[in-house]
Structure 1
């Protein structure tokens, strides 16, 4: 093998790595799964202020929808990889940020709109809607962060 052929092979490998990385990110955050996950989060966290048995029903339905969206997305992707420590830290931080957003939206619902503490139209419903919107709005940022993590893993910055 001459040096030109070796360089050509390395270039092909890098090009395919870039395609694989882009496909992983594209499939991992496809719009239908993002919207299904946001709907699951909304239903899940709306259950906070509902009365029983509706709180239990909404809690179970929301969790199932959120988890099912992730499972279906994971099984339908053509590109898979094991999660690394930076991925886990990123997603844990994202979830903590969403919990903070939920709390802030709940306070805003009380202070600005004088929403009641329980019932369907309540601080929890307002906060759940705000958190679901925050989830959808932050997906592009998470995509960029995942792309940066993947580039660091391959040693290319």
Structure 2
């Protein structure tokens, strides 16, 4: 194998990695999954305001839908990539921030005398998440493209 052949093979590998990364982003952050996740998150947050037997009753269908969403996500995905440690860490931190923001807003609305504080806090948090999702997707796509180009400086690794 000549050096030019090896470089061409490496370029092809990088191109396929970019394609698989973009396909994973397009599928995982599609409008369908984002809206379904938003509805599930809102239902979970709003269920706090329901009387005692109904609050838990709302969560059961949510858990079933979440399991179905995860099942279809895993088995219908065009690309199955394993998330790395950094991706898990980002997901956990984002989840904690969302729950913390919800709890803080619900407490503030409850102290302010709002009749359904968890519902209003859920609307605010889920709306903020839906506003943050497109820029986060664009940033992730840029990161995938930057990985292909070999770094932030735009020069290819050779």
- The TM-score range, normalised by the shorter chain, is 0.7 to 0.9
Alpha-carbon separation, structure 2, partners of 1:79 and 1:87 = 16
Alpha-carbon separation, structure 1, partners of 2:31 and 2:67 = 16
Q: Is the 8 A contact 1:86 1:149 kept in 2?
A: no
Shift of 1:111: 5.9
Structure 1 residues 109 and 66: alpha-carbon distance in aligned structure 2, compared to 1, 3 A threshold: farther
Deviation beyond 3 Å, 4+ runs, structure 1: 107-112, 140-143, 145-152
Which blocks of at least 5 consecutive residues in structure 1 are unaligned?
A: 117-121
Q: Is the 8 A contact 1:43 1:58 kept in 2?
A: yes
Which blocks of at least 5 consecutive residues in structure 2 are unaligned?
A: 152-158
Partner of 2:50: 50
Q: Is the 8 A contact 1:23 1:79 kept in 2?
A: yes
Alpha-carbon separation, structure 1, partners of 2:85 and 2:145 = 12
TM-score, normalised relative to structure 2? 0.79
Higher relative contact order at CA 8 Å, sep ≥6: structure 1 or structure 2?
Answer: 2
- Residues 51-102 of structure 1 show CA distances to partners (whole Å, capped at 9, x for unaligned) of 0321111121223333432332222111112222111110001101111221
RMSD between aligned residues:
2.7
2:134 to 136, 140, 153: 140
Corresponding pairs, count: 150
TM-score, normalised relative to structure 1? 0.79
Partner of 2:114: 115
